[in-house]
A = this chain, B = another copy of it.
């Protein structure tokens, strides 16, 4: 028996909106410690990693570890039927071939349940080594989304250069060139709006706009985004899900030869 309950459906809606374009389907690994999802995107370029800790749920019970393969577009369709303030309960029997999503309105006068067929998916367990990064940037997530969207109009790649003073995002193409510079903020009054940089050594790396733009679909999940970069190591774009876990995206930098 597996059962997990959250008093608001909005977190799940945001997670599904964030990953459903990158992943057609995915396996949710449920255990005593929580729900985990790890999958390469549909084109096998970037990696999506979701962790929801069991203690972040309002109710959580997992008698036996189980893996549920789900079609994310269908799951998103189901969650579109929930109001943001509905309580959501995810339920599955051990060895079941379906999962049930139950949505309860605050006043209990409306209860909806959706039973969805599960899928058998090939499991890909990917070891992600813990790394010390040369640069770790924290900045407002809407600002990062805006920069990626703006620059992707002018080129297919974005160069991210990080120094102690700030971060520069650059691109270029037929129309011309574009540079956006963000300075580290000094005032820490509004933590959500601050830009902070932890730097061991400067880094300049190039990434495909298309994937950065996909990652920023997670913007509604968190006010800040964290970018971790080192030479020859995938960029990590991380959104913290308050009190529940995190959603991370990994993307390898383009190497020089890619650009020619």
In the bound complex, how far is the Cα of B179 from the Cα of A80, in angstroms?
A: 15
* Chain A contact residues, CB within 8 Å of chain B: 71, 74, 77-78, 80-81, 98, 108-117, 143, 150, 153-154, 175-183, 185, 195
How many copies the complex holds: the figure is 3
Contact B81 A175 (CB under 8 A): no
Across the interface, do B109 and A185 meet the contact criterion of CB distance under 8 Å? yes
A sample of 15 cross-chain residue pairs with beta-carbon separation below 8 angstroms, ordered by A number, consists of: A71-B175, A77-B175, A80-B153, A81-B153, A98-B176, A109-B183, A109-B185, A110-B143, A110-B180, A110-B183, A114-B176, A114-B179, A115-B176, A115-B177, A117-B176
Contacts A81-B150, A150-B81 given; does A109 touch B175 at CB 8 Å: no
A153 interface neighbour in B77, B117, B179, Cβ under 8 Å: B77
A111 CB contacts on chain B under 8 angstroms = 180-181
Please report whether the interface of chain A is mostly helix, strand, loop or mixed according to DSSP: strand
CA distance A109 to B116 in the complex (A): 48
Q: Is the CB of B178 within 8 A of A114?
A: yes
Q: Tell me the minimal C-beta distance from A45 to chain B in angstroms.
A: 26
A108 to chain B: which residues have CB within 8 Å? 183
Interchain CA distance A98-B172 in the complex, whole Å: 14
Give, as a whole number of angstroms, the nearest-CB distance from A112 to chain B.
Answer: 4
In whole Å, how far is A106's beta carbon from the nearest beta carbon of chain B?
12
By a CB distance below 8 angstroms, the chain B residues around A183 are: 108-110
User: Chain B nearest CB: distance from A162 CB in Å?
Assistant: 15
Query: Which residue of the partner chain, among B80, B116, B177, contacts A175 with CB atoms under 8 Å?
Result: B116
